[in-house]
Amino acid sequence: MKVPVLRYYGMDAALAGEKRHPQDHLRELGVQYGYASCHSVADVWFFWMPYGNLNALPEWLKSEQITVDPMKFWGDDNEESVAMGQKILGIYKEIKMMTQNFGD
């Protein structure tokens, strides 16, 4: 099962003149999400299951809305990766029930 994800690249944000922390930026736009993970090597944040005011996203960020299979996202089958994928799917199901805004 694939779930919606918003990728937030720090370099793209900086080039667009954005100085706020990614979480602060989304909160101020009215965008909520189920789970956030930062990958500091690439300076990218992944906001899993974004919802709320997605129309408020700036143009440079709108194109970063993707869908990902959380069971394959971390690239291996070790216990930690499987547990994280299951956690994401559990959060997804909760948000879907709350908002009814996500498709399968």
pLDDT tens-digit map of 75-102:
777 788 888 888 888 888 888 888 775 5
Please tell me the pTM assigned to this model.
0.82
DSSP bridge partners of 6: 47, 65
Provide the pLDDT for residue 57.
96
Q: Stretch 5-27: mean pLDDT, rounded?
A: 96
Percentage of residues in the chain having pLDDT higher than 90: 57
- 66 φ, ψ (degrees, to nearest 5): -130, 175
CA distances from 97 to 54, 78, 88, 91 (A): 19, 29, 14, 10
- What's the pLDDT band for 53 if we cut at 50, 70, 90? very high
What integer pLDDT is reported at residue 14 of this predicted model?
A: 95
- Residue 80: per-residue pLDDT: 83
Report the share of the chain in percent with pLDDT over 70: 96
Q: What is the mean pLDDT of residues 17-46?
A: 93
